[in-house]
């Protein structure tokens, strides 16, 4: 941690404007669990105070949602601060055996689609067996994190395999690469196929390189920079030939747009990283810029759009998904109260900090339910899992969809049923 | 002693409501004014009036000083902790207890955020009028302590005009309610006492009807003087705008860098004029305001087309203090008041001070009521720069006093300006004020060391009483 960190810390003028959008401050009302307080802790450590377990705890409790970056009038780059602080925590803070084991499991599993895929069979068996009801209370006692993982696992359907190239329909307007992601690819394959279809129907040749792996978002946002860099280099290589890379997962897009900063110190990669960051576009961002061409068929439903943090705060993409949804005839868009406050998913947060994540999930679910919308739309798989789980705790069986799925249903004229919406108000039945 | 108190508080409030780890405590060492720092001896986060009363009683019994703190956004160090004392943080007392639109009132806990009151009552057609620039985070309890104002106080008045009653914990640890009944206006004394007369635990606020029409104008001027002349012309015409705000070129530059508010780039000063009220009245007065601005020399006028447009105009103004962080590593936010008519003269003097000292000064102010907020910029990495800025900042206050104004309009005295108080008041004045304080807080444990430059012992015979043979004044 050099002088750069000192400068970044110095940008904070302690005004407190970040407090009301910080999820942990909203929960606990404590200075040291606010962005301003965490920056103060970072400053203390920078000035020579050893990194105490208490300090590490407050850094770990940060969701990395970046709402504070949006609300800061002084331009503090909290994203950079927390990233380098997490690296420092990983370097010097001893984790307990149990923490260590959980972290190793998560980072050995989630960034690897092949390993997630290997889990699918046993998970489907497990879900079909009714064992869940017996095992859940035991898990809650043994490890709240494992219990969270169990709860959050979505009902798994059949796996789809996408071809390496999906040709444009009706005259090509662009050629784009598509990131399939890890969790998205294995747990939400229907989102990826909808993304590819919508892009093709809007006139894009969609290239889906087989060699692509994890983009490194989970590692980057958890202080594992070296691991993240390796993933970043591989992703750069996989997409080097595409004009644009369309990403349908907010966390991944945000990380890829940060490649330029991540690899800035590696001369042979800096330029290539910058090029990839520049051409990375979120699904909605890309389509809004391209402009609509394919016909929108009516979808009679009410939808509540949830701002994923890494889309709204991380990439500044708020208007585009709303305008895409609002452009569908018959669709009524509703706003969720406190849109800036994170749902608690935050990458690996709901696994490492299950209690806080659960509380935030409950708050978000209450706000979602209050809209009375029949469909929840979110552009990040983590958010979808998290909010759906919290809604289920409230006794709702929520219909959830990615904007790509909603658009897909409209372009293909499939009607609201395909999104799990029953047609009447109130959260509909599960698919 | 503090360790024993911590045990007592833990037993009664629960372990999660007491902070005594030194690293954590330090995050509370300052509020919005970072110039003064003191790490509290202990932090407690009570959840109810009873818990606040318990904490206060324990402190009094132990002879330990205590300080109340809301969201920690104050700009005069009013909530600066005591290293030998307890910091009572109200950020967990944030329930809106009652919304009563029929009687135009709401009852809230002190930790409730200012803007959240308006959000809660908006569906009923009301809002909470006092709007400090920090309204998105500052707490109602803190507003009461500081008698906070805001841009719209020109027409609607300060916090004191919008609080109907306060439940407080007295410095002796008793829960009582100050209201607007007959007798001495104790509520009036309490509001703006900067937390020296007790801790508020429940506030009944007055709600204001959302006006039928609002018009907002952004006018750009070639000089600060012409903008000042426009303000005088508007007020002189008998118009009472909801707000009249001025920013000079440096403040505009900062706001632009922070929030891209789109103010005219070549303006030496901009005015934000907002009118609200019945539609016909607003329409006719707004036309008049635009004409007066034009006559005074405005070279560009923009009218907010809708609420989003209005929000963008205000965003530049509201973020101005923090935004200055974009153009300067460090700065002092000053707060002073002058008669509106002295505006051009005082601004010229500030400009002269700035040029002579080489210290840059950005100006943001509530022009309608003469409340200046000069921002004195400096580089804290540079040797002696802070001291030079401090000198300029103090000289600006002298200017305010020389023109018959005040050393603070709305940020309070706190610790930061206690030393300037004798420039405005005689010793007898200060003694009299301290006697009020002594009546509320005889042991002098409730936020001691704030407001007054030299604390007085409450048993001490006040000077004004000299020569009076049997003078029990209280």
* ipTM associated with this complex: 0.91
* Structural domain of A146: 97-152
Same domain, A85 and A106: no
Mean pLDDT score, A91-101:
84
CATH number at residue A309: 3.40.50.11810
Same domain, B240 and B344: no
CATH number at residue A35: 1.10.1060.10
Q: What is the pTM of this model?
A: 0.89
pLDDT given at position A160: 66
Same domain, A241 and A308: no
In chain B, the number of structural domains is 4
Same domain, B337 and B363: yes
CATH number at residue A190: 3.40.50
Same domain, B381 and B344: yes
Domain contains B427 = no
Q: Select from A341, A351, A412 the least CA-distant residue to A169.
A: A412
Same domain, A84 and A120: no
pLDDT given at position B257: 86
Same domain, B155 and B77: no
CATH number at residue B73: 3.30.43.10
pLDDT digits (tens, 9 = 90+) for A206-230: 999 988 989 999 888 888 889 999 9
Domain contains B306 = yes
Summary mean pLDDT of chain A: 88
Q: Alpha carbon of B379 to those of A6, A215, A400, B352, B360: distances in Å? A: 14, 41, 51, 20, 11
Contact A54 B23 (CB under 8 A): yes
Same domain, A233 and A311: no
Mean pLDDT score, A27-46:
97
Share of chain B above pLDDT 90, in %: 78
What residues of A are in contact with residue B89 (Cβ under 8 Å)?
29, 31
Q: Select from A185, A210, A215, A204 the least CA-distant residue to A244.
A: A204
Relative to beta strand A204-207, strand A165-166 is antiparallel
Same domain, B138 and B173: yes
pLDDT(A53) > 90: yes
Same domain, A182 and A138: no
Hey, is B213 helix, strand or coil?
strand
Domain boundary residue, one of B363, B384, B412: B412
* Structural domain of B62: 2-89
Give B369 or B272, the one with higher predicted confidence.
B272
Q: Alpha carbon of A421 to those of A188, A197, A325, B290, B355: distances in Å? A: 18, 21, 16, 53, 68
Contact B72 A16 (CB under 8 A): yes
Domain contains A191 = yes
Domain contains B237 = yes
pLDDT(B34) > 90: no
Same domain, B116 and B205: yes
Please give the DSSP secondary-structure letter assigned to residue A154.
Answer: P
Same domain, B155 and B171: yes
pLDDT given at position A425: 42
Same domain, A259 and A339: no
Domain boundary residue, one of A92, A107, A125: A92
The rounded distance, in Å, linking the Cα atoms of B239 and B242 is 10
Residue of A nearest to B256 (CA): A73
Q: Answer whether A18's CB lies under 8 Å from A71's CB.
A: yes
Domain boundary residue, one of A287, A313, A346: A287
What residues of B are in contact with residue A73 (Cβ under 8 Å)?
258-259, 319, 321-323, 325
What residues of B are in contact with residue A71 (Cβ under 8 Å)?
136
Question: Structure tokens of A110?
Answer: 């989630």
What residues of B are in contact with residue A10 (Cβ under 8 Å)?
329, 380
pLDDT digits (tens, 9 = 90+) for A361-397: 999 999 999 999 999 999 988 898 899 999 999 888 8
Domain boundary residue, one of B376, B392, B412: B412
Q: Select from B321, B345, B335 the least CA-distant residue to B407.
A: B335
Domain contains A242 = yes
**Shortest Cα–Cα distance, B25 to chain A (Å):** 9
Q: Answer whether B199's CB lies under 8 Å from B52's CB.
A: yes
Give A195 or A182, the one with higher predicted confidence.
A195
Hey, is A70 helix, strand or coil?
helix
Mean pLDDT score, B372-379:
92
pLDDT(B469) > 60: no
**Residue among B28, B94, B325 minimizing CB distance to A13:** B325
pLDDT digits (tens, 9 = 90+) for B440-460: 999 999 999 999 988 777 766
Q: Alpha carbon of A414 to those of A163, A294, A297, A419: distances in Å? A: 23, 15, 8, 9
pLDDT given at position B466: 42
Same domain, A359 and A268: no
Same domain, B38 and B110: no
Contact A73 B323 (CB under 8 A): yes
Same domain, A183 and A230: yes
Domain contains A105 = yes
Same domain, A9 and A120: no
pLDDT(B420) > 70: yes
Give A124 or A9, the one with higher predicted confidence.
A9
Domain boundary residue, one of B276, B301, B323: B323
Domain boundary residue, one of A126, A152, A178: A152
Same domain, A272 and A341: no
Q: Answer whether B452's CB lies under 8 Å from B417's CB.
A: no
Same domain, B103 and B156: yes
Give A242 or B81, the one with higher predicted confidence.
B81
Same domain, A353 and A399: yes
What residues of A are in contact with residue B47 (Cβ under 8 Å)?
none
Q: Answer whether B102's CB lies under 8 Å from B437's CB.
A: no
Q: Answer whether B110's CB lies under 8 Å from B130's CB.
A: no
Domain contains B442 = no
pLDDT given at position A154: 67
In chain A, the number of structural domains is 4
């Amino acid at each position: 941690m050099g002088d750069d960190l000192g400068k970044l810390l110095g940008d904070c003028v302690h005004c407190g404007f970040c407090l009301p959008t910080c999820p942990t401050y909203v929960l606990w009302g404590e200075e040291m669990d606010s962005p301003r307080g965490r920056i103060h802790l970072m400053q203390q450590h920078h000035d020579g105070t050893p990194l105490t377990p208490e300090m590490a705890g407050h850094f770990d409790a940060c969701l990395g949602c970046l709402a504070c970056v949006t609300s800061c009038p002084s331009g503090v780059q909290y994203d950079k601060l927390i990233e380098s602080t997490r690296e420092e925590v990983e370097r010097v803070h001893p984790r307990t055996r149990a923490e260590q084991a959980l972290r190793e499991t998560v980072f050995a599993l989630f960034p690897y689609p092949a390993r997630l895929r290997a889990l699918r069979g046993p998970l489907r068996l497990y879900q079909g067996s009714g064992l869940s009801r017996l095992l859940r209370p035991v898990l809650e006692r043994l490890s709240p994190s494992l219990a969270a993982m169990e709860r959050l696992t979505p009902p798994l359907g059949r796996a789809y395999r996408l071809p390496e190239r999906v040709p444009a329909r009706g005259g090509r307007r662009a050629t784009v690469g598509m990131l399939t992601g890890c969790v998205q690819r294995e747990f939400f394959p229907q989102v990826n196929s909808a993304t590819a279809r919508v892009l093709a129907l809007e006139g894009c040749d969609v290239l889906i390189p087989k060699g692509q792996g994890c983009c490194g978002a989970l590692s980057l946002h958890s202080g594992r920079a070296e691991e993240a860099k390796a993933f970043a280099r591989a992703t750069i290589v996989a997409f080097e030939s595409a004009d644009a890379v369309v990403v349908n997962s907010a966390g991944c897009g945000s990380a890829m747009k940060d490649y330029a900063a991540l690899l800035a110190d590696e001369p042979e990669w800096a330029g290539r990283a910058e090029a990839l960051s520049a051409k990375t576009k979120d699904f909605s961002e890309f389509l809004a810029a391209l402009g609509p061409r394919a016909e929108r068929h009516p979808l009679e439903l009410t939808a509540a759009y949830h701002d994923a943090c890494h889309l709204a705060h991380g990439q500044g993409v708020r208007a585009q998904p709303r305008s895409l949804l609002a452009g569908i005839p018959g669709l009524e868009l509703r706003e969720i109260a406190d849109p800036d406050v994170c749902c608690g998913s935050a990458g690996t947060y709901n696994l490492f900090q299950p209690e806080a994540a659960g509380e935030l999930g409950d708050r978000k679910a209450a706000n979602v339910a209050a809209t009375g919308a029949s469909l929840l739309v979110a552009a990040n798989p983590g958010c979808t899992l998290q909010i759906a789980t919290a809604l289920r705790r409230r006794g709702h069986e929520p219909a959830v969809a990615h904007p790509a799925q909603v658009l897909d249903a409209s372009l293909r004229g499939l009607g609201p049923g395909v999104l799990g919406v029953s047609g009447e108000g109130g959260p509909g039945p599960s698919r | 002693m503090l360790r024993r108190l911590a045990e007592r508080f833990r037993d009664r409030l629960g372990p999660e409501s007491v902070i005594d780890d030194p690293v954590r405590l330090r995050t509370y060492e300052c509020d919005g004014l970072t110039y003064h720092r003191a790490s509290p001896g202990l932090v407690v986060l009570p959840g109810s009036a009873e818990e606040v009363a318990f904490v206060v009683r324990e402190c009094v019994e132990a002879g330990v000083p205590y300080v109340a703190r809301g969201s920690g956004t104050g700009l005069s160090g009013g909530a600066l902790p005591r290293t030998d004392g307890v910091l009572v943080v109200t950020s967990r007392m944030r329930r809106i207890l009652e919304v009563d639109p029929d009687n135009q009132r709401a009852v809230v806990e002190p930790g409730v955020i200012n803007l959240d009151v308006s959000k809660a009552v908006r569906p009923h057609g009301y809002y909470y009028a006092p709007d400090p620039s920090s309204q998105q985070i500052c707490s109602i309890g803190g507003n009461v302590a500081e008698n906070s104002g805001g841009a719209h106080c020109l027409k609607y008045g300060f916090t004191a005009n919008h609080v109907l009653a306060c439940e407080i914990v007295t410095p002796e640890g008793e829960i009582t309610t100050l209201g607007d009944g007959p007798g001495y206006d104790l509520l009036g004394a309490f509001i703006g006492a900067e937390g020296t007369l007790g801790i508020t635990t429940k506030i009944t606020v007055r709600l204001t009807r959302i006006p039928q029409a609002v018009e907002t104008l952004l006018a750009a001027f070639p000089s600060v003087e012409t903008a000042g002349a426009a303000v005088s012309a508007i007020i002189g015409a008998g118009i009472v705008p909801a707000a009249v705000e001025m920013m000079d070129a440096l403040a505009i530059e900062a706001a632009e860098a922070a929030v891209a508010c789109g103010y005219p780039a070549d303006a030496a000063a901009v005015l934000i004029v907002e009118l609200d009220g019945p539609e016909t009245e607003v329409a006719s007065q707004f036309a008049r305001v635009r004409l007066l601005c034009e006559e005074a020399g405005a070279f560009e006028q923009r009218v907010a087309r809708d609420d989003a447009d209005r929000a963008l105009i205000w965003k530049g103004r509201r973020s101005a203090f923090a935004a200055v962080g974009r153009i300067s590593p460090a700065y002092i936010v000053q707060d002073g008041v002058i008669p509106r008519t002295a505006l051009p003269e005082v601004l010229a003097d500030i400009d002269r001070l700035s040029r002579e000292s080489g210290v840059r000064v950005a100006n943001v102010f509530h022009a309608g009521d003469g409340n200046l907020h000069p921002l004195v910029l400096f580089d804290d990495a540079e040797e002696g720069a802070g001291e030079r800025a401090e000198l300029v900042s103090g000289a600006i206050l002298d200017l305010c006093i020389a023109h018959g104004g005040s050393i603070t309009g709305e940020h309070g005295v706190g610790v930061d300006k206690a030393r300037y108080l004798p420039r405005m008041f005689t010793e007898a004045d200060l003694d009299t004020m301290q006697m009020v304080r002594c009546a509320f807080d005889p042991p002098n444990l409730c936020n001691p060391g704030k407001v007054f430059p030299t604390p007085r012992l409450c048993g001490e015979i006040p000077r004004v009483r000299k020569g009076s043979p049997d003078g029990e004044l209280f």
